[in-house]
Chains A and B, each alone.
Chain A
Amino acid sequence: MATIVKLQHISSFRGKGTRNLIREGMSKRPTPDPVAVLRGHRASVMDASFHPSRPLLFTGSADGELRIWDTVQHRTVSSACVHSAAHGIICVASSPFIGANKVISQGRDGTVKCWDIEDGGLSRNPSVTIKTNTYHFCKLSLVKKPSAHALQAEGHSYHDETEFRGTFDLESLDDSKEKAERGLTECSNVVRAGELSHEVEVWDLNTAERLVQLPQSSVGGSPNISTSERGMCMAVQAFLPTESQGSLNVLAGYEDGSMLWWDIRHPGVPVTSIKFHSEPVLSISIDESCRGGISGAADNKIVMFSLDHSMGSCVVKKEISLERPGISGTSIRPDGKIAATAGWDHRVRIYNYHKGNALAILKYHHATCNSVSYSSDSKLMASASEDRTVALWELYPPKT
């Protein structure tokens, strides 16, 4: 006991930082500034995504430019116009499961392009181009797997492409989990037969084929769960929970504020339907364990929810009300400790993901924030904003 007191005594004289700690413990700590601000985009930055292993950041802007940044040097590595300037990019995504040197860009021109990252930049032409013919606001989602599996799967993911391409059915997914991770979930609102259809489509990234539609119109012909009155699909998140025996699950948020949980094994009927929000759901994130997530919408609520796979239910864990409405992006740090939201009110908010209490309100951007994203090592966070900047933040960095 005496040593503890002594150590405390020592620690209190260690230096300026500690003195600050003591002082700041009494009063409020000021919010930190971004560690770096990446400038260079000439239009609103729509999305940002970290490279799964290398210190790179991909950002896409509303004028169709995809930039690759070095997150150590804070410099642009390369820049390319990958979608037409008139349409712009909605989403950029990368994942260890699609290959370490690939990045996917989704444009508002109805195409999704997959690019190879060569040394010094993108490939001249996309390796895969999917013409989805969809024109909407929903960002695509790559399949997310529980992190423990993801780490194991990383090494195998490259040579399984062909198998996945061959047959896609629920059983095969069940057999080899690795095969499904290259599945691409996307939502679409293709107008068919004169009625608005608000469906989630799952595409294979390698073959550029659509695998499944949710809800599947052909099944049963009993549309007991109709999605058309829910409005457009605004956000999707695909994940592969361990409990589902390798079958792909999708959470989709709709315009009326409801969310549907689909299991791809039952494409006609969703697992469950919940309505946490009163306005269009704009963003859904699932944590690495796939047992919970966070959703943001156009209303003034952020909902943290948990997924019970055995019961097939989704319950609210914590509801956070906001002063000003509009959350356009959410992200949960890979270590599952904190979550970030990108708000229309120019602020990035940080929450304790376990407790749900607010940790920081980051005021840096002076325009709407479009997305937030964490690096896979949980050290960095990037926020993309309409003010044409991307800010890099280091908050509560984990111990290496």
Chain B
Amino acid sequence: MEVASKRRRELEAAVLDKVGEVISAVRSAQRVDQVICALHSLAVLLFPLDYSSLLSGSIDQRYRDQVLSAKVPSEEERWEWWQAFYHGAAYPTLARVLLLDVASNWLACFPLSARVHVYDVFFVRGLSSEVVQTLVPCLQQNASDGHDINYVLSNTERLLVHCLLENDGVLQMAREFCRSEDSISEWTKPTVARLAQMVASIPDKARLRAPVSLSSHLFFKQITIQLLSLAEKRDEKVLDKVSFFSKSDVDDALQFVGETFSRICRRGSADVLLSEISPRILRHVQSLLSSDIDSAVIDVFEAHPGSQFWLKMIEAIKDVYAVERISEQLLHHLVTEHASDVEAYWILWLLFHRTIRHQTSVRSMFVDKFVLWKTFPICCLRWILQFAVLECPPDSNSLTKGHSISGLVDTLQRLLAVWSKKEFVQSASMEQQTYVSAAVGLSLEKMSKEELDETKDVMHLILQGVSCRLESPNHLVRKMASGVALVFSKVIDPKNPLYLDDSCSSDIIDWEFGLATPDKGNLDTSDCTEKDVLKSKASILAPESDFNHTANRGMSNNVKSKTKKLSEFKIADPDEIIDPVTLNNEPVSDIDDDDDNASENSESSSDSSLQPYDLSDDDTDLKRKFSQLVDVVGALRKSDDADGVERALDVAENLVRASPDELRHVASDLVRTLVQVRCSDLAVEGEEESAEDKRQRALVALLVTCPFESLDTLNKLLYSPNVDISQRIMILDVMTDAAQELANAKTVKPKHRTGSLITSISESQPWFLPSGSGPPGATSWKEISDTGTLLNWSSRYERELPSKSGQIKRGKTRRWSLRSSSVQENQMEWSHNKFPVHAAAFMLPAMQGFDKKRHGVDLLDRDFVVLGKLIYMLGVCMKCAAMHPEASALAPPLLDLLRSREVSHHKEAYVRRAVLFAASCILVALHPSYVASSLVEGNLEVSKGLEWVRIWALHVVESDTDRECYTMAMTCLQLHSEMAFQASRALESVETTFKTRSVGLPSNLSQGTIKIPTHKGNIDFV
């Protein structure tokens, strides 16, 4: 032993001497050949060199002899020298010289063969771990010592690519760690970590112009492949050691793998890592599963040599963050590779079954983080629950319950604690909510009634969560509640499932709730109310053209039905058929004529003449028809007479639209009764919708025909404690509709038409023929021959006219007028916005009491849906009054309302969306000149409000959790910039007028600012 150490020391000294010699030779070299010679003298001691190739290079004859004369040591000597060189201080010293001095001064002159054999060889054939340690720091060389830094760096990069990637340097390093047992130096854990860190840092240290293979994606991919080949190739040596050490500790090679992987993850390339790992492990598991299904699977996995690497790999990764990233990416990759439940379970088991038992962090990652705070596709959730919660292998494709349910109960309770909270419903993103709901549902499915009974507060929490979800304005959230409730009811009583929603009638619940997976980036939250907001948002700038339809809808419906009924009657008088008077006028007697009349007094007369008429009978006319509004009010109040209420609702809209004189007096009463009618109680099953619709239409009609009286009552009712939320929402809906209808009111004006006064008759036609003019579709004139007399003084013509469009046939009365049909064609419709007159009456009373909390009224907190609707209604009102002076007058109070903290920062996204909508409406509604003049006159209220809109929208864009809010805020910002642009133009024109009048701008103009957000930054307009 002493001899060995003494010998080693001698050897090291010799190596150092030699290196010193070489270095001084290099330093003092005048020619490149001298450098090559010096390096060769060392290289020949360390590596087996191929001379022929070296000599083929163009070295000077003198030096070639010197090279050739060098003494070639034996294999054994060389190995000793190599050991001493790389494990000692010699290599770092030489490498420094090589990488800096030689590289910058001489390397460019090296012939290619020389570079390969006497320069690169020191790195390529060296000890990889040492090589890396010398190469990597070199990447960050500064240009200090007069070296050509560019060349140094590019050379280093070249060497790195050459060593690590082309020559599998990373794999060699791992092997070196395996061999460390019998090598001279002992690898300490920090060293391994430092090396892994170095390797992983290479892509970041490389310059921009470095080879592509050093870019993080390709580089990490390469080294991952190299490291995974440890598992792939079943490297005997490594795996022997792995299995040998499996009982005690992870060995250095795996530690290096683990460290490298965790560094890769830390550097954000977990997906690259897993894109290599997951197919391999999936293939491995698939091969095992297909080969042997019957025997106990766990044993198969444990015993298979290929599994060893995977079993230990995660254990080797100490970094919790990296483990988390790896698990996440693994799950996502397994989804894209369509792994089955069984495969996924075994993959998770293979990788994590040890760590999950021993490391609490991993355990909590699975049962806490992955279930509660992250979102995965639903199938991942199933795998996670199966692996971490149920802890047993699954049946073919369904969750299976293991023996112990404590984990399940724990998880369920934790899930429910989160799920049932109102704050979670308010603040969590939709994907998160879906995910957690699915987790609750899936784990609830595995519970039995007895187990549920044993748990403390599970039922209570479920009820709480369901009830707070059912109140949500979001359709999807309600669906989650009904889904969970269905599962819950099935657990409690499988025979009597509870369907809260008509749509989910099947037994299998779609836990994704129709939500697309996040991979597709398509998260349409199919929410009805959102759609409403969206739709109206889209139509902020484009007025809805089909609105006049609503106004006439009631009327035309009625007319239509009447026409339909009447058209069943034929024109002919049926009595004519039997009437013998007409028959007797004929020269011949009719064979079919009734003999009844002939035998008037005979009892045996046949009654063939008594041909029955249409005997169909219905009782529509028997129902009492309401023709007076007072009757309608009376009938609506009799809530016990459902039939009467229904009929009253039927006629209410038409009666109101007819706007009789007494309307003003009964409007208030009618509004009140209409609001308080309980449509759902009265209407027949399945017809609640139409009754509700009729009621709303009647209310809209009232608001349109008689705005002030109706609004007075409606606004009182809005904040009255006697109405419930649905009625409040209905009131606001009705007001919204009415505002839109008023804004799109149409008036009909006759169009002046000029016609030719003199008609020309074509030559081809005889003068006595009637003119061919007439409505299109008329047939040509035909002469009728008169059979009666021979002498015929007049010619008679007939033709058939098509029935006119819109012609109404009322019984036997026919209107023969060309005018009637063309009236509609000649009329032009003028739209006239009637709304601004009423805008204040619509908006101001409704804005007054929104923040007061009274009995049954709590808009800011409990009834947030009403608040959202209210703000939406106000926004629509603003839009309807757009560009009118009233809009300018009403904008400041509305902005005040929106600015109040409890509104603009409301917990519910629904309210925030409404605020964004209303703010956008204000931006659209304000006339630019008004904005400009308010700036000029120093109207701070407006300018501050608008500035607040901008800032707040920016804030929402940056920090809001709700996706919808984000897009709406973007639109709002866009509208703001447009408004600011228009205002600045208006301001310019104001300035010019001021100048021409030689009036100086008021000094306080500078107080108002409009900021235009652009991508470059904010430009302030003064």
Considering the chains assembled together, what is the distance between the CA atoms of A24 and B568 in angstroms? 12
Q: Hey, which chain B residues are within 8 Å of A394, CB to CB?
A: 575
Q: Hey, which chain B residues are within 8 Å of A217, CB to CB?
A: none
Contact A21–B577 (Cβ < 8 Å): yes
Cβ-based interface call for A135 (8 A): no
Considering the chains assembled together, what is the distance between the CA atoms of A29 and B614 in angstroms? 5
A8-16, A70-78, A83-91 - the one binding chain B: A8-16
Interchain nearest-CB distance for B909 vs A (Å): 56
Within 8 A of A (CB), among B605-626: 607, 609-617, 619, 621-622
Contact B591–A347 (Cβ < 8 Å): no
Contact A338–B575 (Cβ < 8 Å): no
Cβ-based interface call for B424 (8 A): no
B interface footprint on A16-57 (CB within 8 Å = 1, 0 otherwise): 111011001000111111000000000000000000000000
Contact B617–A347 (Cβ < 8 Å): yes
Q: Hey, which chain A residues are within 8 Å of B577, CB to CB?
A: 17-18, 20-21, 24, 29
Contact A357–B612 (Cβ < 8 Å): yes
Q: Hey, which chain B residues are within 8 Å of A400, CB to CB?
A: 581
Cβ-based interface call for B576 (8 A): yes
Contact A355–B575 (Cβ < 8 Å): no
Interchain nearest-CB distance for B784 vs A (Å): 12
Instruction: From known contacts A11-B590, A24-B577, A396-B578, infer whether A359 and B612 are also in contact, taking CB-CB under 8 Å.
Output: yes
Q: Hey, which chain B residues are within 8 Å of A31, CB to CB?
A: 613-614
Partner of A8, one of B573, B591, B616: B591
Contact A17–B611 (Cβ < 8 Å): no
Q: Hey, which chain A residues are within 8 Å of B621, CB to CB?
A: 346, 363, 366
Within 8 A of B (CB), among A350-373: 352, 354-355, 357-361, 363, 366
Q: Hey, which chain A residues are within 8 Å of B612, CB to CB?
A: 29, 357-360
Interchain nearest-CB distance for B809 vs A (Å): 13
| Closest chain B residue to A393, Cβ basis | B575
Considering the chains assembled together, what is the distance between the CA atoms of A361 and B618 in angstroms? 11
Considering the chains assembled together, what is the distance between the CA atoms of A324 and B591 in angstroms? 40
Interchain nearest-CB distance for B522 vs A (Å): 57
Contact A359–B619 (Cβ < 8 Å): no
Considering the chains assembled together, what is the distance between the CA atoms of A331 and B582 in angstroms? 28
Interchain nearest-CB distance for A25 vs B (Å): 8
Cβ-based interface call for A399 (8 A): yes
Cβ-based interface call for B507 (8 A): no
Contact B610–A338 (Cβ < 8 Å): yes
Partner of B597, one of A345, A352, A354, A398: A398
Q: Hey, which chain B residues are within 8 Å of A397, CB to CB?
A: 575, 578-579
Cβ-based interface call for A209 (8 A): no
Cβ-based interface call for A274 (8 A): no
Cβ-based interface call for B588 (8 A): yes
| Closest chain B residue to A147, Cβ basis | B601
Partner of A11, one of B573, B579, B591: B591
Contact A30–B569 (Cβ < 8 Å): yes
Considering the chains assembled together, what is the distance between the CA atoms of A361 and B578 in angstroms? 18
Instruction: From known contacts A4-B591, A30-B570, A355-B607, infer whether A337 and B596 are also in contact, taking CB-CB under 8 Å.
Output: yes
Band of interface residues on A: 35 or more
| Closest chain A residue to B576, Cβ basis | A17
A interface footprint on B576-604 (CB within 8 Å = 1, 0 otherwise): 11111110001010111000111010010
Q: Hey, which chain A residues are within 8 Å of B581, CB to CB?
A: 400
Contact B811–A32 (Cβ < 8 Å): no
Q: Hey, which chain A residues are within 8 Å of B806, CB to CB?
A: none
| Closest chain A residue to B577, Cβ basis | A21
Say what secondary structure dominates the interface of chain A.
loop
Cβ-based interface call for A174 (8 A): no
Contact B574–A24 (Cβ < 8 Å): yes
Considering the chains assembled together, what is the distance between the CA atoms of A395 and B613 in angstroms? 10
Cβ-based interface call for A119 (8 A): no
Within 8 A of B (CB), among A317-349: 323-324, 335, 337-338, 345-347
Q: Hey, which chain A residues are within 8 Å of B590, CB to CB?
A: 7, 11
| Closest chain B residue to A363, Cβ basis | B621
Partner of B613, one of A346, A354, A359: A359
Cβ-based interface call for B665 (8 A): no
Q: Hey, which chain B residues are within 8 Å of A335, CB to CB?
A: 600
Contact B570–A24 (Cβ < 8 Å): yes
Instruction: From known contacts A16-B572, A399-B597, infer whether A30 and B617 are also in contact, taking CB-CB under 8 Å.
Output: no
Q: Hey, which chain B residues are within 8 Å of A354, CB to CB?
A: 603, 607
Instruction: From known contacts A352-B610, A358-B612, A395-B575, infer whether A30 and B591 are also in contact, taking CB-CB under 8 Å.
Output: no
Considering the chains assembled together, what is the distance between the CA atoms of A151 and B787 in angstroms? 45
Q: Hey, which chain B residues are within 8 Å of A18, CB to CB?
A: 577
Contact A30–B607 (Cβ < 8 Å): no
Instruction: From known contacts A7-B591, A11-B588, A338-B610, infer whether A32 and B575 are also in contact, taking CB-CB under 8 Å.
Output: yes
Contact B622–A33 (Cβ < 8 Å): no
Contact B613–A345 (Cβ < 8 Å): no
Interchain nearest-CB distance for B25 vs A (Å): 123
| Most-contacted residue by chain A among B598, B610, B617, B621 (CB, 10 A) | B610
Contact B576–A20 (Cβ < 8 Å): yes
Cβ-based interface call for B812 (8 A): yes
Q: Hey, which chain A residues are within 8 Å of B578, CB to CB?
A: 396-397
Partner of B573, one of A14, A32, A352, A361: A32
Interchain nearest-CB distance for A290 vs B (Å): 14
Contact A345–B572 (Cβ < 8 Å): no
Instruction: From known contacts A20-B572, A32-B573, infer whether A324 and B615 are also in contact, taking CB-CB under 8 Å.
Output: no
| Closest chain B residue to A21, Cβ basis | B577
Contact B570–A20 (Cβ < 8 Å): yes
| Most-contacted residue by chain A among B590, B613, B614, B622 (CB, 10 A) | B613
Contact A17–B582 (Cβ < 8 Å): yes
| Most-contacted residue by chain B among A345, A346, A360, A399 (CB, 10 A) | A399
Contact B576–A337 (Cβ < 8 Å): no
| Closest chain A residue to B609, Cβ basis | A396
A interface footprint on B531-574 (CB within 8 Å = 1, 0 otherwise): 00000000000000000000000000000000000001110111
Considering the chains assembled together, what is the distance between the CA atoms of A119 and B616 in angstroms? 45
Partner of A360, one of B580, B592, B613: B613
Q: Hey, which chain A residues are within 8 Å of B609, CB to CB?
A: 396
Considering the chains assembled together, what is the distance between the CA atoms of A355 and B609 in angstroms? 13
Contact B572–A399 (Cβ < 8 Å): no
Contact B607–A324 (Cβ < 8 Å): no
Considering the chains assembled together, what is the distance between the CA atoms of A360 and B597 in angstroms? 20
| Closest chain B residue to A8, Cβ basis | B591
Instruction: From known contacts A20-B570, A399-B597, infer whether A361 and B615 are also in contact, taking CB-CB under 8 Å.
Output: yes
| Closest chain A residue to B568, Cβ basis | A30
Contact A28–B572 (Cβ < 8 Å): no
Q: Hey, which chain B residues are within 8 Å of A355, CB to CB?
A: 607
Instruction: From known contacts A10-B588, A17-B576, A399-B597, infer whether A337 and B607 are also in contact, taking CB-CB under 8 Å.
Output: yes
Q: Hey, which chain A residues are within 8 Å of B573, CB to CB?
A: 32
Instruction: From known contacts A357-B612, A359-B612, A399-B580, infer whether A30 and B600 are also in contact, taking CB-CB under 8 Å.
Output: no
Q: Hey, which chain A residues are within 8 Å of B622, CB to CB?
A: 324, 345-346
Q: Hey, which chain B residues are within 8 Å of A21, CB to CB?
A: 577
Q: Hey, which chain A residues are within 8 Å of B588, CB to CB?
A: 7, 10-11
Q: Hey, which chain B residues are within 8 Å of A10, CB to CB?
A: 588
Contact B615–A32 (Cβ < 8 Å): no
Q: Hey, which chain A residues are within 8 Å of B592, CB to CB?
A: 8, 11
- Could you list 23 A-B pairs, sorted by A, with CB under 8 Å? A7-B590, A11-B590, A16-B572, A17-B577, A29-B574, A29-B577, A30-B613, A31-B613, A323-B617, A323-B619, A324-B619, A324-B622, A335-B600, A337-B607, A346-B621, A346-B622, A354-B603, A355-B607, A359-B613, A360-B612, A361-B617, A395-B575, A399-B598
Name 12 extra pairs, CB < 8 A, besides A20-B570, A366-B621.
Answer: A14-B586, A17-B576, A17-B582, A20-B574, A30-B574, A31-B613, A32-B573, A32-B574, A359-B610, A361-B613, A363-B617, A398-B600
The interface of chain A, by Cβ under 8 A from chain B, is 4, 7-8, 10-11, 14, 16-18, 20-21, 24, 28-33, 323-324, 335, 337-338, 345-347, 352, 354-355, 357-361, 363, 366, 394-400
The 9 A-B pairs at the shortest CB distance, nearest first, are namely A399-B597, A28-B614, A360-B613, A20-B572, A21-B577, A399-B580, A17-B576, A31-B613, A30-B569
